[in-house]
């Protein structure tokens, strides 16, 4: 019986390694991009693809010789973009934009712009801007909502309402609460 279980264990192990190996390499870093550089590229949007795991912006940009080059800009997932105020209709073909990007290290017309790289953003011809800052973080009476939740927790643990000023500020907190998830424990990376 032991010999039979050992014979089954090897194929099971190989099967597990085969199907879990892809997951180990599924998420990649941004090492292909120069994240120390911020370069503006100006052009006309040809396509905006709202898809997981990374949305894509394609635009036609004139290079230094006047030749039209199609750039691909990788950005965040729709979930992260949504929390930054973007929608699937934020960019459309024909929009004239300037995008502040982290360019490819190899000089190819590809780049990254997203929440992990402060300073990257999209600027429309009329001056409007789209950035990648999470807009769902609630600020309540000058405090981030998770700090208020911590105060509520501390009060429940201590049993002493005088330990914090939560009761005095509860009315202000409820009045000023901004709808949306509190952002507690959220990964803002890309």
More confident residue, 175 or 123: 123
Which CATH class name applies to 39-130?
mainly beta
**Mean of pLDDT over the chain:** 75
Question: Does residue 75 surpass a pLDDT of 60?
Answer: yes
Over the stretch 12-49, which tens digit does the pLDDT of each residue have? 544 444 444 444 444 456 678 999 999 999 999 999 99
Element (H, E) at 123: strand 121-124
Between residues 83 and 146, the one the model is more confident about: 83
> How confident is the model at residue 29, as a pLDDT?
60
User: Among 13-17, 93-97, 136-140, whose mean pLDDT is lowest?
Assistant: 13-17
The full set of domain ranges for the chain reads 39-130, 139-176
Beta bridge partners of 41: 99
Let me know how many helices (H) and strands (E) the chain has, helices first. 4, 9
Beta partners for residue 45, in sequence order: 59
Whole-model pTM? 0.60
Name the burial class of residue 152, with classes exposed (0-12), middle (13-18) and buried (19+) by CB atoms within 10 angstroms of its CB. middle
């Amino acid at each position: 019986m032991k010999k039979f279980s050992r014979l089954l264990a090897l194929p099971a192990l190989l099967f597990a390694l085969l199907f879990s190996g892809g997951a180990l390499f599924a998420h990649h870093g941004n090492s292909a991009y120069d994240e120390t550089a911020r370069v503006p590229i100006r052009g006309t949007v040809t396509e905006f693809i709202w898809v997981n795991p990374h949305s894509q912006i394609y635009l036609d940009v004139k290079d230094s010789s006047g030749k039209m080059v199609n750039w691909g800009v990788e950005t965040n997932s729709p979930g992260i973009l949504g929390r930054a105020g973007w929608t699937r209709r934020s960019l459309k073909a024909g929009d004239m934009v300037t995008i502040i990007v982290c360019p490819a290290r190899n000089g190819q017309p590809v780049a990254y712009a997203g929440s992990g790289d402060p300073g990257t953003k999209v600027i429309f011809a009329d001056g409007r801007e789209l950035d990648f800052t999470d807009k769902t973080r609630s600020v309540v009476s000058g405090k981030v909502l998770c700090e208020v939740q911590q105060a509520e927790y501390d009060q429940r643990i201590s049993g002493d309402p005088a330990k914090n000023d939560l009761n005095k500020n509860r009315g202000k907190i409820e009045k000023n609460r901004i709808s949306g998830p509190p952002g507690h424990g959220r990964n803002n990376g890309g």
